[in-house]
Structure 1
């Protein structure tokens, strides 16, 4: 995306509590009893496992750096980006990023502080030594690498198409959407990708996600294209009115959507960057990362 802020796509807070539907079997008690008497019980059908992103290869274990030189890590995060960062009921920082930061400090065995700031102030706060690391769902792009060093990615936000439920497509290619109207938020990498790859479609832009999603609900466009994580919450939440669903699979081209999301540190701070990489691997290896992801994301964006 053109700027750090535009690479940071907001969730709809009201959708953060969305959950998947549950299948319920209804039937007459007597009929069910007869069926059980005549037919052997079948094992329950298990839901498909949630897709948990991971960037760690168990065969490539990072070396443990000299952690004795670290005594505290001052994390900086954003004020209002649920479920990644938000203010908890007790007034303290909460969210996936916050819990992950604390898990990393547990592995490194150092004191951990988490300070919440507006997203657009995070880079200046880091450069003026008001913190040591930014953990705020910041996409790793060439533009951001010019200003920060990053840890290994700890998640990726794929781009996805969404259509109305009566027009879902299992696969999407540029030739399939020739002449179709596709919406995207203006000035984003999603708009740039559409203009570069879907040249025979009609691209319509909107000022924000709310306007984009309303355009699809009103059938002003055939598809919308945007951040897969926020769209997953919207599609499965009450705000969508059950109008829409994903079409096709995820798009993860790094040239447009970044290399993933990493933890930013000041240029040249190799000790902290290596310590975070080591701790990220340990948290993943122990299963704590998977537990965190499933706690906050019951809906897969992939």
Structure 2
């Protein structure tokens, strides 16, 4: 009887995971025309990843001091896919890029911005996670949300953000209420001081994970790389083509075999896509 009950619970749990994977939109940034050409592993005997340890859930230390997170798991899976030795070393954020430039690592997986200044020093892998903008409403208002009917609605935004500029351009009849950061803007929706929030979906997902009884994403995700940033990619020293090629090849493989989806669902229980 106990074994039957245990099996039933296991099947229920597996069913829930399958449902989550089906019901929740998943990232898809892999070029469908990308060719799976195995990189020459003799040119990349190992990958020395650099990261930081202060950006949960991407890269941080747990209570035991172990380095964990989405980026940490991704780095390990990349090395496993390419079948090369792998090390991951944490640096203070303000020193990590300099460490890569000084050849103290082969790749930096820590959300380095793909800016013109960084582009002069580093090359970047394919994007593995974009950062869309999204609306958040109180849970009771989510079903009735209509982005074409926001005239007169009070929308909480981070002051000076690209998301504020987006609303001013595309939804000029909405009333914008400015806040110093996303947390304060989301709290305004929770307290009914604002009708809804618009901003960085990833940061909003962290807040929603702690406030599921209050609020939820509403409507679709808005992908605007030129406005909201090009997303997350892995930096390598300029000209380090074998390493970049190996990483890009692994990212295609990890998306196609479901590993990227698995990591996304594990580390972002409130998905932001």
TM over 0.5: yes
Which protein is bigger by CA-based radius of gyration? 1
Q: 1:172 aligns with which of 137, 147, 150?
A: 147
Match of 2:8 in 1: none
Paired residues of 2:153 and 2:174 also in contact (CA < 8 A): yes
Q: 2:259 aligns with which of 288, 291, 296?
A: 288
Distance (whole Å) between structure 2 residues aligned to residue 283 and residue 166 of structure 1: 37
Q: 1:149 aligns with which of 123, 127, 133?
A: 123
Distance (whole Å) between structure 1 residues aligned to residue 157 and residue 222 of structure 2: 14
TM-score, normalization by structure 2: 0.82
Structure 1 residue 202 displacement after superposition: 2.6
Distance 1:245 1:287, change over 3 A: closer
Paired residues of 1:62 and 1:277 also in contact (CA < 8 A): no
Structure 1 residue 157 displacement after superposition: 2.1
Distance 1:300 1:271, change over 3 A: same
Bigger shift: 265-274 or 141-150?
A: 141-150
Distance 1:267 1:180, change over 3 A: same
Match of 1:216 in 2: 189
Structure 1 residue 247 displacement after superposition: 2.1
Q: 2:97 aligns with which of 115, 119, 123?
A: 123
Deviation sequence 1:170-216 (CA, Å, 0-9, x none): 3313xx22232222223432223223322222322222222222222
Distance (whole Å) between structure 1 residues aligned to residue 212 and residue 126 of structure 2: 38
Structure 1 residue 160 displacement after superposition: 0.6
The RMSD of aligned alpha carbons is: 2.5
Distance (whole Å) between structure 1 residues aligned to residue 159 and residue 100 of structure 2: 29
Distance (whole Å) between structure 2 residues aligned to residue 241 and residue 72 of structure 1: 42
Match of 1:108 in 2: 82
Match of 2:30 in 1: 56
Distance (whole Å) between structure 2 residues aligned to residue 266 and residue 193 of structure 1: 33
Give 3-state SS (helix, strand or coil) of 1:136's partner.
coil
Match of 1:70 in 2: 44
Q: Does 1:276 align with 2:247?
A: yes
Deviation sequence 1:12-53 (CA, Å, 0-9, x none): xxxxxxxxxxxxxxxxxxxxxxxxxxxxxxxx9x84613221
Bigger shift: 280-289 or 99-108?
A: 280-289
Deviation sequence 1:219-254 (CA, Å, 0-9, x none): 2222211222332342242xx262222222111012
Gaps in structure 2 of 5+ consecutive residues: 1-15
Paired residues of 1:141 and 1:259 also in contact (CA < 8 A): no
TM-score, normalization by structure 1: 0.74
Paired residues of 2:209 and 2:269 also in contact (CA < 8 A): no
Paired residues of 1:172 and 1:249 also in contact (CA < 8 A): no
Distance (whole Å) between structure 2 residues aligned to residue 279 and residue 165 of structure 1: 39
Name whichever structure is richer in helix by fraction. Answer: 2
State how many pairs are aligned.
254
Give 3-state SS (helix, strand or coil) of 2:110's partner.
strand
Distance 1:116 1:186, change over 3 A: farther
Paired residues of 2:133 and 2:198 also in contact (CA < 8 A): yes
Distance (whole Å) between structure 1 residues aligned to residue 95 and residue 161 of structure 2: 20
